[in-house]
C-alpha cells in the first residue's frame, strides 16, 4: 500500500506553534532530537504493508529518511489540493496501489502496528473511503490531558483520526463537499453542520448513532465509505497546540 504524507504549512507569528518551529515547517518541529515528521516516517518504514510514500509540502533541501521509495511534490496550497496532487502522482505510475493511506505529519506517536492495522482494515472494508475515529474513552485512557474536542453521538463520543485511506482510482476528487469538510476538520460541529442542519441537531441532542452518521456522510459525499472506530488513540493525537506538543514529547521520550 502507498501513502500520501501531508507536510505543508509553516507556522505564522500568531500560530501557537510558531515559537517552536524556528521558521521551519510545522512537520520539522523537533521531538527528542528528530523532526516530528521523522517519527511518522519511521512508523511507515517499520510497517510491513507500506511501500511508496508521496511526501507533500517539504522542500527537497530538508532532509528526512525513509528506506523505500519516497516522492516529493510541492505544497499545493491547501489540504484538499495536496491530497488530490498526491493521488494523481500515484495514478501516474504504471501499476498504482489500489489503496493509499492519507497520513498527517503531526501524529508522531503512531507505530508500525497502527499503520498495518489501518492498512488491513482498509483492504477488508473494500470501500472508496475509510475515515478513522477514536472513542473518547480510548483517547482519554491513553492521553488523559489531550483536550481533544469530540462529536457526541448517541452511542459514543468520537474524534477524527489523522491516518485515513482512499481507493485511489475511485474517489471523485471534484466533489466540492470534500474541500468544505476537510477545511472544517478542526471543528467537529462545523463538520456536522456541513452534513445538514438536521444532522447537526441530531448530533447536538445525541439522537444519532455512529452507523447513522456514517450513512449520512457517505450520502453527502456521494462515496462508498466507512467510518472506522480505532483502538489506537495515537492516530488521533495530533499536534496543534504547545500543550499537545509537550504531552507527546513527554510520552515519546519516556
C-alpha–C-alpha distance, residues 180 and 150, integer Å: 19
pTM: 0.91
SS3 96: coil
C-alpha–C-alpha distance, residues 15 and 245, integer Å: 13
C-alpha–C-alpha distance, residues 167 and 198, integer Å: 29
SS3 132: strand
Q: What is the pLDDT along the chain (254 residues), one digit of tens a residue?
A: 999 999 988 899 899 999 999 889 999 999 999 999 999 999 999 999 999 999 999 999 999 999 999 999 999 888 888 888 999 999 999 888 899 999 999 999 999 999 999 999 999 999 998 999 999 999 999 999 998 889 889 999 999 999 999 999 987 767 666 666 666 555 666 666 656 656 665 566 567 888 888 888 778 777 888 999 999 999 999 999 999 999 999 999 98
Task: Tell me the CATH number for domain 2-252.
Answer: 3.90.550.10
Residues making up the chain, counted from first to last: 254
C-alpha–C-alpha distance, residues 210 and 228, integer Å: 10
Amino acid at each position: 500500500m502507498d501513502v500520501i504524507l501531508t507536510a505543508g504549512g509553516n507556522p505564522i507569528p500568531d500560530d501557537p506553534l510558531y515559537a517552536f518551529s524556528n521558521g521551519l515547517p510545522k512537520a520539522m518541529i523537533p521531538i527528542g532530537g528528530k523532526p516530528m515528521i521523522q517519527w511518522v516516517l519511521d512508523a511507515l518504514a517499520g510497517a510491513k504493508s507500506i511501500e511508496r510514500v508521496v511526501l507533500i509540502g517539504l522542500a527537497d533541501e530538508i532532509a528526512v529518511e525513509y528506506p523505500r521509495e519516497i516522492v516529493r511534490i510541492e505544497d499545493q496550497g491547501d489540504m484538499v489540493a495536496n491530497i488530490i496532487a498526491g493521488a494523481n502522482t500515484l495514478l501516474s505510475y504504471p501499476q498504482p496501489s489500489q489503496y493509499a493511506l492519507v497520513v498527517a505529519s503531526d501524529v508522531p506517536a503512531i507505530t508500525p502496528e497502527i499503520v498495518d492495522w489501518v492498512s488491513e482494515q482498509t483492504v477488508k472494508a473494500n470501500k472508496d473511503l475509510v475515515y478513522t475515529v477514536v472513542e473518547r474513552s480510548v483517547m482519554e485512557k491513553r492521553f488523559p490531558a489531550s483536550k481533544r474536542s469530540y462529536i457526541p453521538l448517541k452511542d459514543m463520543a468520537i474524534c477524527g483520526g489523522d491516518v485515513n485511506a482512499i481507493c485511489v482510482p475511485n474517489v471523485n476528487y471534484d466533489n466540492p463537499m470534500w474541500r468544505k469538510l476537510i477545511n472544517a476538520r478542526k471543528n467537529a460541529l462545523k463538520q456536522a453542520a456541513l452534513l445538514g442542519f438536521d444532522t447537526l441537531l441530531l448530533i447536538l441532542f445525541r439522537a444519532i448513532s455512529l452507523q447513522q452518521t456514517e450513512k449520512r456522510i457517505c450520502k453527502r459525499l456521494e462515496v462508498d465509505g466507512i467510518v472506522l472506530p480505532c483502538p489506537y488513540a495515537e492516530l488521533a493525537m495530533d499536534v496543534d497546540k504547545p500543550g499537545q506538543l509537550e504531552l507527546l514529547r513527554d510520552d515519546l521520550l519516556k
